[in-house]
Structures are given as C-alpha cells and as structure tokens.
C-alpha cells in the first residue's frame, strides 16, 4: 500500500473529497488531486497538515497495511507500559 492508497482509503472512510481537504489545508484542489492520483506526494509540511485534517499520524499515511498494524501494536504497548507503576 502506498501513500496514494492510504490517502484514498482515508478520504473515502471519512467521506472527504480532495477539494474539501485542499480547502481545509489551504491549498489548490489540484494539489490534493495529484496526491490522490499518485502523480505527486505532499511535502512534509503538507503531509502533517493532511494528517491533522483526516485525524491520523503522518507516519500512518506512509506505511503499508502490515507496517501500520505493527506500528499500532507498538503504540498500544507503549501506552500500557507508560501507565505501569515502577517498582
């Protein structure tokens, strides 16, 4: 899975269009459309803004499905470890 597919899936699951996302980020709709088509990638700054708009971590947009599953497990484990009292 690529950033393009992750973006398509996230937009679809949130019922967002490229035009709507572009307006929320402050870009031209054609910029986001090029990301959706896989023609270009967002800059790091735009990737962060995109992640905020679709309510995810920027890194989630860059990972394959398997990598994302593993990353979420690691994040969950970190959360559990963080709340454990130290002996």
* Residue 70 counted as domain residue: yes
pTM of the predicted model, to two decimals? Answer: 0.73
* Residue 71 counted as domain residue: yes
Instruction: Provide the CATH number for the domain around residue 71.
Output: 1.10.260.40
Q: What pLDDT, on a 0 to 100 scale, did the predictor assign at position 79? A: 85
Q: What pLDDT, on a 0 to 100 scale, did the predictor assign at position 31? A: 94
Q: What pLDDT, on a 0 to 100 scale, did the predictor assign at position 46? A: 95
Q: What pLDDT, on a 0 to 100 scale, did the predictor assign at position 48? A: 95
SS3 readout for the chain: CCHHHHHHHHHHHCCCCHHHHHHHHCCCHHHHHHHHHCCCCCCHHHHHHHHHHCCCCHHHHHCCHHHHHHHHHHHHHHHHHHCCCCC
> What domain count does the chain have?
1
The model's pLDDT over 24-71, given as tens digits with 9 standing for 90+, comes to: 999 999 999 999 999 999 999 999 999 999 888 888 888 877 887 888
For residue 14, the enclosing domain spans 3-82
Q: Which residue has the higher pLDDT, 31 or 79?
A: 31
């Amino acid at each position: 899975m690529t950033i393009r597919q992750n973006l398509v899936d996230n937009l679809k699951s949130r019922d967002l269009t490229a035009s709507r996302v572009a307006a929320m980020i402050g870009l031209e709709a054609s910029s986001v459309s090029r990301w959706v088509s896989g023609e270009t990638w967002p800059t790091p700054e735009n990737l962060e803004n995109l992640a905020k708009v679709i309510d995810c971590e920027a890194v989630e947009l860059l990972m394959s499905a398997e990598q994302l599953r593993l990353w979420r497990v690691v994040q969950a484990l970190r959360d559990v470890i963080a709340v454990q009292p130290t002996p």
